[in-house]
Every structure is written in structure tokens, then in C-alpha cells.
Amino acid sequence: MIYLDNSATTKPHPSVLESFQQVSSTYFANPSSIHQLGGTTETLLLAAKKQAADILGIGVDEVIFTSGGTEGNNTAIKGIALEHQGRGKHIITSSIEHPSIYEACQSLETLGFEVTYLPVDGNGVVSAAELEKAIRNDTILISIMHVNNETGSIQPIEKIGSIAKRYPKLFFHVDAVQSIGKVLVQLKDSGIDICTFSGHKIHGLKGTGMLYVNNRTKLFPLLHGGNQEYSLRSGTENLAGSVSFVKALRMIKEREKHDINHLLSMKSYLYDALKAMDGVEVNTPEHGAAHIINMSVPGIKPEVIIHMLGEQEIYISTKSACSSKLKDESKVLAACGFGRNRTTTALRVSLSYDNTMEEMKIFVQALSKAIKQFKEAME
């Protein structure tokens, strides 16, 4: 099997699974219980927070464990909007955000908020200068993803963070679900107030994740109850999930440090090979993230190629997993200015550190063969 759909989800690492099982079996008590086992469980939860904080260079009290990217993004967007609506009701985001941002913003529009959806250029990148022009006296939030999940384009979050620092009445949220462990995310003194991470994109488990919320940021909680997670996320903590998330976070940051050139080499090989392949148009910018390549094969429905490759146990995807069942064109590629011949025929290859150059060569040969076979059958 050659698995090239790692931006949809990654295979859990055996050490992560072992960590989850061990904590579930041994430290099963409720961290809020006042008996000794509850106290031990709470101590382990705090240790996991401290480890995550040390890895990311932030404070322990700035770590909120969540169920993943969608919860993190909704908590950030709606939490800021509802808490600070007395200050203003204007939000700035981009036209290529993940559905968990886009849909959250649209839901707020029904409550009277106004949202500016910034355009992107042909490489799928927002202009920091245009973003600053969009800031108004009533702007309370900027939310921009770091790496786009369909094309791998990298947004200028360092520049945007510098801009955000000049406007202390607004907050800056970054969706770093696709970048953590592959494109460096700097949180301390970056101008970023809130940042979303997800476990299953980094060989952790589905249903695990983390939200960085800096000390100056106050959110309206989406969940009320027992006041866990500093009253931002009530509900009994998923201790085993949180511990296993931190395990995955530590491991992916180590691989980012030591193996990023391996990822870049595979991406470079694929980029050049697909650029040269007859009938294929590469949509990903040359200087995008190291793990995502988006391409179109005009004239062939993407499902046909997915099926032909799947018969050989080679797995790629069409658009993002969260929008792949929608039959319309790729909203992201359309925002980049591509025509319908490319926006309706897109395929995504997404890598992990575990992939090999040999797998890249097999995939390129299989894709070329599949396109040739389809065209011959249609003649």
C-alpha cells in the first residue's frame, strides 16, 4: 500500500497508541475527583500541558486540550466574536479557509457580524498589505490559516502577526492544523493570540487536539458545565487523548527538526515529474509546503483516477477530506483564478515523513499509466 492522503489523516504511530492504551488502563479516574487516584490523574494532565507548553515555547496556562481542528477553530472564532462583540462586530478572514472557519464565520453573519473574505493571488496567498487596509475601528478578529489544506500555499502569518501587534484591540487567530511539524510555527511574541492544532494530522488520534490561547485573550466558552480547562471547555478531560496528543506533538517536532529535507526531496521530485507529465497541470505553488501537491488532469473526472490508483492500493484524494464529497468545483482553486477545467478535476497528494522516494516513483509511473489508459479507452 502507498498512502498519500496524509493531509486528510495520518496513520497513528504505535507509540501514540501505546500511550493512549496505557493511560486509559492505569489512569482512568476523573481528574476532578478528590481521592488519590483522581489527584494522580490530574497531576498527569498538568504534566502533559507542561510538556506541550515546553515544546511550543508557551505558558502552561495557555494550553487548552480540544477534540481537534474543528472544535479549536469554532472555539476561537465564536469565542472571540461573542466575548468581544461590544467592541465591534467585524471579522477578517480569507476566501480559502477550511470549512470549520468559513462556516463558523457564515453562522456569525446570521447573528449580525460582518465578515471580510480577503482574495488570494494565483499562488493562493493573501496580501498582508490588503489585509491591513481591511482593518477597521470595529474589527475584533483576524483569522488566517497557515498552510492551505488543498494547495499547500503558505500564508504570510509572520507579517500579519506584525500588523496585528499594531492594533491591540483586535485578536489574531491562526489555523495551524496543516503546518504543525512541517512548516515552522512560532507562537511566542509572534502577534498570534490563538492557534489551532489537531492530533490526527501528526500521527496522533482522531478526536484529539490543542488550542493555544495566550494570556491576554478572553473567549466566550462554547461549552458550560464543570469549568474544566480554565472554564473554556467544560466536560471531563480526555486524559489519554491529551497525553497521546502531546506524544505525537513531541515526535513530529523531532521529525521536523531532523527529516524535513527528506520531505522536501520527495516534494521536489513529485513537483518536477508532474510538471513534465503530459495532461497534468500542477496547481501548487513551487514554494508551498513540503507535504502537499495539488494537480489537475483536465478532461478526466478525479474519481476515475482515484479508482484506478486505488485498485493498485495507491491512495490519494480529490480535494480536502472535509469537502471531497461535494460535487462542485474546488472553491480554493477557483479563488486562485483557475478555470473550471482545472477546478473540477483536481487531485491532492499529501505526504508524511514515513513515505519514501521509491513510493514517489511508483506513484508517478502509475498515474502516467492511468492517464494513458483512460485516453486510449476514450479514443
Q: DSSP string spanning 133-145?
A: HH--TTEEEEEEE
The SS3 assignment for 13 reads: coil
Per-residue pLDDT reduced to its tens digit, 138-184? 999 999 999 999 999 999 999 999 999 999 999 999 999 999 999 99
Q: Are strands 2-3 and 314-315 parallel, antiparallel or unpaired?
A: parallel
Which phi and psi (to 5°) does residue 237 adopt? -65, 145
Q: What is the pLDDT of residue 377?
A: 83
Q: What is the residue-averaged pLDDT of the chain?
A: 96
What's the rounded mean pLDDT across residues 255-276? 97
Per-residue pLDDT reduced to its tens digit, 331-379? 999 999 999 999 999 999 999 999 999 999 999 999 999 999 998 887 7
What's the rounded mean pLDDT across residues 311-326? 76
By percentage, how much of the chain surpasses pLDDT 90? Answer: 95
Question: From CA 103, how far away is CA 116, in angstroms rounded?
Answer: 14
> How many of the other CB atoms lie within 10 Å of CB of 313?
9
Band (320; pLDDT cuts 50, 70, 90): low
Q: What is the pLDDT of residue 171?
A: 98
Per-residue pLDDT reduced to its tens digit, 182-223? 999 999 999 999 999 999 999 999 999 999 999 999 999 999
The SS3 assignment for 344 reads: coil
Q: What is the pLDDT of residue 335?
A: 97
Torsion angle (degrees, nearest 10) of CA 29, 203, 74, 31 = 10
- Range in 14-23, 314-323, 358-367 the model is least confident about: 314-323
Band (326; pLDDT cuts 50, 70, 90): low
Band (131; pLDDT cuts 50, 70, 90): very high
Residue 323 clears pLDDT 70, i.e. is over it: no
What's the rounded mean pLDDT across residues 26-48? 95
Question: From CA 282, how far away is CA 338, in angstroms rounded?
Answer: 11
Q: Which amino acid is at 333?
A: L
H or E segment to which residue 281 belongs? strand 281-282
What's the rounded mean pLDDT across residues 11-33? 97
Secondary structure string (H, E, C) spanning 144-179 = EECECCCCCCECCHHHHHHHHHCCCCCEEEEECCCC
Which phi and psi (to 5°) does residue 193 adopt? -95, -35
Q: Which of 295, 269, 360, 272 is nearest to 3 (CA)?
A: 360
Helix, strand and coil percent figures for the chain, each rounded to 5: 40, 15, 40
What's the rounded mean pLDDT across residues 234-260? 97
Q: pTM of the full predicted structure?
A: 0.95
Helix axes 69-83, 99-109, angle to 10 degrees: 30
Residue 43 clears pLDDT 60, i.e. is over it: yes
Backbone angle region of 69, left / alpha / beta, with phi > 0 → left and psi within -120 to 50 → alpha: alpha
322 noted as active-site residue: yes
Question: From CA 24, how far away is CA 164, in angstroms rounded?
Answer: 41
- Range in 18-22, 86-90, 318-322 the model is least confident about: 318-322
Question: From CA 96, how far away is CA 105, in angstroms rounded?
Answer: 13
Q: Which of 105, 195, 322, 336 is catalytic?
A: 322
Q: Which residue matches cell numbers 520527495? A: 266
CA angle 96/322/191 to nearest 5° reads 45
C-alpha cell at 294: 495539488
> How many of the other CB atoms lie within 10 Å of CB of 43?
12
